[in-house]
Structure formats: C-alpha cells, structure tokens
Structure 1
Amino acid sequence: MVYDVIVIGAGVSGSAVARELSRYEGNFCVLEKCEDVCEGTSKANSAIVHAGFDAHTDTLMAKLNVRGNEMMDELCRDLDIPFKRNGSMVVCIYKETLPELQKLYDRGVANGVKDMRILSRSEALEMEPNLSDSTEGALYAPTGGIICPFRLCIAMAENANENGVDFRFNTKVENIKKHEDGLWHIRTNNGEYITKYVVNAAGVYADTIHNMVSMDDDKIKIIPRRGEYCLLDKEVGNHVTHTVFPQPSKFGKGVLVSPTVHGNLIVGPTAVDIDDPEGTNTTAEGINDLITKASDHVKNLPIKKVITSFAGLRAHEVCHDFIIKEVKGADHFIDVAGIESPGLTASPAIGEMVGNMLRDMMQLKAKENWIATRKDVVDPSGLSIEERNELIKKNPAYGNIICRCESISEGEILDAIHRPLGARSLDGVKRRTRAGMGRCQAGFCSPRTMEILHRELGLSYEEITKSGGHSNIVVERTKHQKGGEQ
C-alpha cells in the first residue's frame, strides 16, 4: 500500500497530528518504535496545561501554547478525559526580582493570555497558605490547568484509529529516501513503508529522522534534557491547590509543586542536558536538588509522602522553539521537532497546524462521517452506589478489584485491553486505568494484571512485559509440568 501520509512517532504530537488527519479522506499511518503510544517524552512530564505567559512573544511556542490552552476544554469533553483549570502562580521570593513578574505579565498579555493579575504578598498567601514565608508576590494565571498526559495522548490516538488511521507498533525507522517515483520509502525493522508525505514527530529522535533527509546546511540537533520528579501520595494532594512555579530561568520554568488531576502532588522537574536519548534514570543528586528548590517556594513540603520518583526527557532544540515546517530540499517531508515544554499544552494546536498544512498541500477532502468523540475506560468511582451496583450486575468483572490502592476493577482492565489500540503490557494497562499507580506502585496488583493479560491476549508469562522491548517480568521458569503450564 502507498499511504498518503505517514507520521513517525506516536507521542502526543504525533497522535494529535493523526487525529487531525483522520478528519479527511485518505490513507494515513503512524509508525512507532515502541510497543504502545505515549512511550517517550509524552509519558513523563509535569502534566500541566500552561497558560502561555512564559514563551517569548512571536515564537511558535507562544502561539501554539495559547491556542492549545484554548482548545483544551472542548477537546477533553469530546475525548472524555479529565482536565481542570486550577490556575497557576509564579512566586517571587526576592524583593529585588519583583519587577520580573511585571515583565512576565506583559509578555503574557502580548501572547494573548487572559485574566492574569499580579498578586501582593498577602493576596498570594491568602490564595495559597503553604507558600514560602519569603513570598513577596506572585503572577496569577487562572487559565493554567492540570491534565492526565497519558489519557490525552491515548485518547487522541484511539480517536484517530477509530476514524481509520493505521498504527504500527514495534516499528523503528532505520532509513528514509525519496525514490524516482516521487514517493518516500521508509525502511524499518518490520519492512518498507511507502508514502507521499512524511510527518516527523519522533521526539528526542526527531533530529535523527530529520538528518536522514535534510541538506548538509540544514541539520538540526536535539539535546535530551532530563527532568526528574517526585510523586506524592493522595493523602497530601491538597498541600497546594494551584500549580506553583518559581520565577523561570534559562533552563525552563523551574521546579514546580502542583496537585495532579488524580489527586496526588507532583514536584519537579530538574533540568539537566544529557547525551543519552534513553537516559530516564533518576539520581540522588537530582532528587535532592528538586526537593531543595521546591522547598524554597512551598513550605512544609510533605516530601516523606513520596510514593515514586521518575524522570522524563524533553526534546530541546538549540534554537529553543518548535520546528514545524517542510524540510528544506525535502519536499513533502514536514518536521514536528523540538517539541519541549509547553508541548503537551500545545499538542492540539500542533495537530491543527500540521493538519491544515497537509490539507492545503494535498487538497484533502473532509469526511462526512468523522467521529469527534470517544468514551474513556469506564470509571466506576464516578458512579453512584446504585449505578455501580447495576454495572456490576451486568458485568461482575467490575466488582472484582485488582488494584486495591486505586480501586481498579477487572472490568476496567478488560476495557483497557480490548479497546482500540488496547494495552499489551503492564504499563499499557497502568496508563489507561491507573492500576499500579498507587501507594504500593504495582507491588500487589502486577501478578493479577499479568494473569488477565495472559488470559485475554494469549500471551505466555514470558512474553508479558512491563513496557515492551526487553522489559520482561518472567525470564524463565523454575518448574515445569508435563502436559501443561505451571
């Protein structure tokens, strides 16, 4: 088959582009090197919808940040995912840097951010009592919000798939060339794919993909920027109610403290440039650094309530702006590169921008029957007792609790497995249902989840992984039984 467009990368940018393409008639495909969507940068970030005051005016970052923020309410309603505008605060703790808040405010106004205001010390502490005693003032942006990054990415990919977009997982791009037939031939570990247009949304590998096709004077360089985080128990999830930032620096927005949309408290990230595009390990130095920095702006930080730490990578390009354009000398090859923070916020607008570019370049025709909505995994916790009892009566699997920490039932896990682009690993189940995200961090529910994956997908226990690749849980057996499995 010759595709009309192939998107490389099933992170939040690639999935947003795929959803926009699914509005049109045509054959579209997403190639992803990992075993699931949302396996790279999109799975490990601050889960923040930024208001848009930080990015420099007249950059793509600023434009798409504000547009993406504006799109988020309707998008989350359509895709049935949680989103809350809890508001953000940039806190100043040094009197001599108070004028910088005004500059940030002015930039936000220029970017089109609505309803911001500068708070005095007393106003800031009244709104957020656990701010540092050193607080001098704050910039308040009510349009800031919190979201589940996994659910956003998965929802856009599922919706694209339901509208006809193909997804090919465990498919790593090895080389790309344009042949004499005028088509792009993409060699992968799973064979060759042919397409008229390519969208490069490969995250920290976007430079590798770009440099396969670009001219010598048009190479780009992505620097993986590691950010480490601590996630705290729901017991302390209301320590702050807004997203609290320090004043930003050249390395980014700094270490934030924020509630999550699921009721936890998140602290992070650090910002360290590294060479390894897979370097998502945490370090004692990094965790200690983020705790110290967060405590400068939020007092009595309940850091002993940490249930896990993790690290993610941002695809930092040296120009520090999104790169979204047709590659010089490579007709019909579009970069979506350098998508670092606020990439999650901007993703709907990135999808819209690239979708419009391809619509105009290819004269795409809109579908008459495009489906804008999808339903998320059923969440019994949002039902009344009567509704939940009725659900269990119809399907007893919803009465069988698998993950005790998050009260996730077998019914939810079955839904996660059997829906479009369903889960194939423990992390795939976790990102769709939160099974394994609670206090015990999957210590108790993993074996039971593996039993369900084994039963429903026909996978042997040796084939079940944490997150695809070589992350096998069961490596070998110590006992064997004739005529059957032990």
Structure 2
Amino acid sequence: MLYDVIVIGAGVTGSAVARELSRYEANVCVLEKCEDVCEGTSKANSAIVHAGFDAAEGSLMAKLNVRGNEMMTDLARDLDIPFKRNGSLVVCIHKEALDGLKDLYNRGVANGVKDLKILSREEALEMEPNLSENVEGALWAPTGGIICPFELNIAMAENANMNGVDFRFNTEVEDIKKGEDGNWHLRTNNGEYVTRYVVNAAGVYADKIHNMVSADKMHIIERRGDYCLLDKTVGGHVTHTIFPQPTKLGKGVLVSPTIHGNLIVGPTAVDLENKEGNNTTAAGIDDLIAKAGDHVRNLPIRNVITSFAGLRAHEEHHEFIIKEVDDAPCFIDCAGIESPGLTSSPAIGEMVGNMMKDMMNLKPKANWISTRKGVKKTDGLSIEERNELIKQNPAYGTIICRCESITEGEILDAIHRPLGARSLDGVKRRTRAGMGRCQAGFCSPRTMEILHRELGIPYEKITKSGGNSNIVLERTKGEVSGS
C-alpha cells in the first residue's frame, strides 16, 4: 500500500502530528518500534504544562510552548484528559540572584506568557508555606499546569486512529531510501512501507532516522533525568509546581503535585551516549534528593513509592527542529523535542499539519471526529452512580488494583478500546492499575489473568512492556485435569 504520510514514532509528538493529519483526506500510518504508544520520552517526564517563560525569546521552542499551553484547556476537554492549571513558582534563594527573576519575567512577557508576577519573600511563603526559609522571591506563572502525560499521548493517538490513521507497533525502521518511483521506501523489521512523505518524530532516535536520508548529519544527546514519585499521603506538601532558577542544563529539580494526587521530584540532568540508558542510579537519586531540598523544606522523601528515569532528546542548539530536510524533499524532521516538548506537542502537531496541508494540498474531512472519551473511571463516582454502573456491568464491582481502586471494568475498557493495552504497562498507563503504593505487587497476577482471558495471550507471552519483558518464562507444572 502506498501511504501519503508515514510518521515515525508514537510519542506525544508523533501522535499529535497524526491527529492533526487525520483531519484531512490522506492515508496516514504511524510506525512505532515499541509495543505501544507512549513508550519513550513521553512516558517518563515531569508531567508539567510549562507556562513558557524559560525558552529563548523569539525561538520556535518559545512560540510552540506558549501556543501548546493555550491549546491545552480545549484539548483536555475534547479528549477527556485530566488537566489542572495549578500555576508554577520559580524560587530564588539567593538575594544576588533576584535580577535573574526579572530576566525570566521579561523573557516570559516577550514570549507572550500572561499574568506573570514577581513575588516578594512574604508573598511567596504565603502562597506556598513549605518553601525554603531561604526564599528571597519568586516568579509566579498562573498559566502553568499539571497533566497526565500517558493520557495525553494515548488520547491523541486514539483520536487519530478513530479518524483512520493506521498504527503499526513492534515495527522498527532500519533503512530509508528514495525509490525510482519518487516515493520513500522504509525497510523495517516487519517488511517494507512506501510513502510519499515522512515525518520523523523518533525522539532520541530522530538523529538516526534523519541521518539515513541526509548528508547534513544531526546529533541528538541523550540527557537522562532521574525522578522520585511520592505517595499520595504527601501529595499536598506543595500545591503549585516549584522550580529553582534554571541553568544551562535545564529547568532544574522541581517539586510538584501530580494530576493524580502524588508528589513528583525531579529531574536530574546527565548527558549520555546511550539511547536506551533510562536506568536510575544511586548517585542520580542522591543528587536529586539533595537539590530538591534546597527550595522546599521538610520534603517527605521517605514516602517515595518508586523512582524512574527518562531521556530527553537534547540538540546542541537547544531548539526544536521542525522543517523539511534541505537535501531530502518530502522528509520532515520533528527533532530535538525536549522540555517543553510535552506542553508544545499539540502546537507541534498543528504546525506540521498546516505545513503538510499546504505542501500536499490536503482537503479537510467532512466527518472528522474531534473528541474521544477516556477509560470510564469509578474514582469520584457517588455510591448511587457506582451502583448503577455495576448494575449495567458487574465487572465494575470487582476491584483489581487495591491501591488505586481500579476495577476489572476499567481494565476491560483499556484492553478493548482503540489501540488497546496489550501488556501490564499498557493497562497501567490507561487505568493506573499498578501505579499505587505497592507498585503492582498485588494486582499484576489478576491483570495478567484478564489479559490472558480477553486476548488469548498465553501467560508465557504476556509482558510488562513488550519486547523481552516477559513475566512468566515457562510452566513448571502441567495443566490440572478438568481445569
């Protein structure tokens, strides 16, 4: 089959581009080397919607950050994504650095960020009592927010799929060549794909994909960030997102509530030359904890329930690269998409969609679907509403994940919806089953039973996150007669 556009990568960038392209009469396909959407940088980040005061004035990064922030309220409503504008504070703890807050304020105003304000020490402590006693002032950005990165990514991908975009998982691009027919021929581990246009949204692998087609080589630096996630019992330690003043390595170690009521601390910034180097280290976590305590007092770090690390796709000029490649016509890069990439993703999708509409003379669909409903959650329902739901579907009366109170009905929804879950992590990202205090210690066997029953997957083939992450390696006993 000849596609009009193939998007490489099903993270937030690729999924946002796919959703925008699904507005038009075009055959679009997304190729993803992993077993699900949201498997790379998009699954391990701060879950922050940045206001836009940090990016350099006049940069594409600044423009798309602010635009993405503006789009988020309507997008969250249309795609049924939890989102809250809790606001952010950049905290200054050295009197001699107060001018730096003014610089950030001026940059934010130039970037178009609304309602910024510099707070005194007293104003900052009144707003956030657990700030460090050393606070000298803070920059207040009320448009900052918190979101679920998994649900944002999954929602955009599902909506694209509902509108006709094909997704091919476990499909890694190994080589790209321009054929004599004038089309791009993509060789993958699952056969060849042919397309008129390619969008490279491959995250930390964007340089590898770009370098297959261009003599002007690109280099992406894998910048690892370690995080700690704290229990919901301490989720209210701060109510706003707390940043230190930024450095050349990034925005620093933040402390923030999450949209689901936890507290998140991170990230560090360690440059690597390893595109799969997303393991945490003792040194990284120790560094994280030490820095987090500089700006927030009495940080309840003993309440950590898990730690994790993610990789940012850092390009040496610290700028988004979104353009057609000069020596590879009809090949569009979306590269160097590091923080604030999550915030910017809807705007990146919009930009690339408009670019390709003009390049390809695309016509809008008459029946484009702009909305989707997420997994139906029982959390927050009244007793009457819950009983009515159980009456309609008894599976909503069976709790599978006790920590997060996730029911069998929610897991069934996650499995059978568009681009449904096929692994434990796939279920976790769609429902939060396994994200609680025990970190899937109790619910994994039950979730495996449901995956086995609903999808017919042998237990030996069920994975944590695709690939070789099998949970059960082999049977040690035969089947019980009559079972």
Pick the TM interval, shorter chain.
over 0.9
1: CA distance between counterparts of 2:246 and 2:288? Answer: 14
Q: Deviations over 1:134-176 (max 9, x none)?
A: 0000000000000000000000000000000000000000000
User: Is 1:211 matched with 2:211?
Assistant: yes
Does the residue aligned with 1:349 lie in a helix, a strand or coil?
helix
Number of the residue aligned with 2:411: 413
Number of the residue aligned with 1:86: 86
Number of the residue aligned with 2:219: 221
Does the residue aligned with 2:299 lie in a helix, a strand or coil?
coil
Alignment of 1:277-426 (within 5 A): 277-426=275-424
Number of the residue aligned with 2:185: 185
1: CA distance between counterparts of 2:390 and 2:78? Answer: 26
Number of the residue aligned with 1:168: 168
Task: Give the letter for the 2:219 counterpart.
Answer: K
2: CA distance between counterparts of 1:463 and 1:60? Answer: 44
C-alpha displacement of 1:477: 1.5
Does the residue aligned with 2:197 lie in a helix, a strand or coil?
strand
Task: Give the letter for the 2:222 counterpart.
Answer: P
Number of the residue aligned with 1:76: 76
Does the residue aligned with 1:13 lie in a helix, a strand or coil?
helix
2: CA distance between counterparts of 1:60 and 1:482? Answer: 63
Q: Deviations over 1:388-407 (max 9, x none)?
A: 10000010000000000000
2: CA distance between counterparts of 1:484 and 1:19? Answer: 49
C-alpha displacement of 1:484: 8.0
C-alpha displacement of 1:382: 2.5
Task: Give the letter for the 1:166 counterpart.
Answer: D
Number of the residue aligned with 1:64: 64
Number of the residue aligned with 1:127: 127
Task: Give the letter for the 2:53 counterpart.
Answer: F
Decide whether aligned partners of structure 1 residues 23 and 484 sit closer, same or farther in structure 2, where only a CA change above 3 A counts.
farther
1: CA distance between counterparts of 2:207 and 2:58? Answer: 24
TM-score normalised per structure 1: 0.99
Does the residue aligned with 1:355 lie in a helix, a strand or coil?
helix
Task: Give the letter for the 2:468 counterpart.
Answer: H
Task: Give the letter for the 1:160 counterpart.
Answer: A
Task: Give the letter for the 1:342 counterpart.
Answer: P
For structure 1, the residue ranges without an aligned partner over 5 or more in a row are none
Does the residue aligned with 1:288 lie in a helix, a strand or coil?
helix
2: CA distance between counterparts of 1:199 and 1:55? Answer: 24
Task: Give the letter for the 1:389 counterpart.
Answer: N
- Among candidates 456, 462, 465, match of residue 464 of structure 1: 462
C-alpha displacement of 1:483: 6.9
TM-score normalised per structure 2: 0.99
C-alpha displacement of 1:303: 0.3
Q: Deviations over 1:230-281 (max 9, x none)?
A: 0000000000000000000000000000000000000000000011100111
Task: Give the letter for the 2:202 counterpart.
Answer: A
1: CA distance between counterparts of 2:209 and 2:112? Answer: 34
1: CA distance between counterparts of 2:315 and 2:481? Answer: 57
**RMSD across aligned positions (CA):** 0.8
Number of the residue aligned with 1:43: 43
Does the residue aligned with 2:313 lie in a helix, a strand or coil?
strand
2: CA distance between counterparts of 1:288 and 1:319? Answer: 29
Does the residue aligned with 1:296 lie in a helix, a strand or coil?
coil
C-alpha displacement of 1:378: 0.2
Q: Deviations over 1:59-96 (max 9, x none)?
A: 11100000000000000000001000000000000000
2: CA distance between counterparts of 1:383 and 1:366? Answer: 39
Q: Deviations over 1:194-244 (max 9, x none)?
A: 0000000000000000000002xx111001000000000000000000000
Does the residue aligned with 1:392 lie in a helix, a strand or coil?
helix
Alignment of 1:86-165 (within 5 A): 86-165=86-165
Task: Give the letter for the 1:439 counterpart.
Answer: R
Number of the residue aligned with 2:18: 18
Q: Deviations over 1:387-435 (max 9, x none)?
A: 1100000100000000000000000000000000000000000000000
2: CA distance between counterparts of 1:352 and 1:307? Answer: 37
C-alpha displacement of 1:481: 3.1
1: CA distance between counterparts of 2:166 and 2:282? Answer: 42
Task: Give the letter for the 1:124 counterpart.
Answer: A
Task: Give the letter for the 1:395 counterpart.
Answer: N
Number of the residue aligned with 1:231: 229
Task: Give the letter for the 2:132 counterpart.
Answer: S
1: CA distance between counterparts of 2:248 and 2:325? Answer: 28
1: CA distance between counterparts of 2:417 and 2:315? Answer: 36
Does the residue aligned with 2:152 lie in a helix, a strand or coil?
helix
2: CA distance between counterparts of 1:318 and 1:207? Answer: 12
C-alpha displacement of 1:383: 1.8
1: CA distance between counterparts of 2:478 and 2:173? Answer: 39
C-alpha displacement of 1:482: 7.4
